[in-house]
């Protein structure tokens, strides 16, 4: 059974705050996660997981974190929040993405 994702609440604003190219990367990553949904590390986490991925563009490394909740019966990944951190890569020069 395939999963779907839904971006809710503050995560919508979080996504819009990212550069367009990084928004597209987030959506691509969510589609990949729907093929193989992440599992909580322990039952105490009650279906919530945090995943991250990295992308480098124009000499800047972007690390994106997403807080997700698994809704098992409906096979839906709920995106609760998105955050990112950027750092200039050693020897890189920041510029337009």
What is the pLDDT at residue 92? 63
pLDDT digits (tens, 9 = 90+) for 44-97: 557 799 999 999 998 999 999 999 999 988 999 999 999 999 999 877 665 554
CA pair distance 28, 36, nearest whole angstrom? 13
Residue 3 pLDDT > 90: yes
For the segment 14-38, the average pLDDT, to the nearest whole number, is 96
Are 81 and 13 in contact, with CB atoms under 8 Å apart?
no
Confidence (pTM)? 0.85
The domain segmentation of the chain, as residue ranges, is 4-37+47-88
Q: According to the model, what pLDDT value does residue 41 have?
A: 73
Domain 4-37+47-88, CATH among 3.40.50.1860, 3.30.2310.20, 3.30.70.120, 3.30.1330.60: 3.30.2310.20
């Amino acid at each position: 059974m395939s999963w779907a994702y839904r971006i809710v609440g503050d995560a919508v604003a979080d996504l819009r705050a990212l550069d367009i190219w990084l928004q597209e990367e987030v959506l691509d990553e969510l589609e990949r996660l729907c093929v193989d949904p992440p599992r909580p590390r322990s039952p105490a986490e009650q279906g919530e997981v945090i995943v991250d991925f990295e992308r480098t563009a124009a000499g800047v490394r972007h690390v994106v974190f997403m807080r997700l909740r698994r809704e098992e019966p409906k096979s839906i990944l709920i995106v609760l929040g998105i955050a990112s951190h950027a750092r200039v890569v050693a020897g890189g020069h920041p510029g337009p993405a």
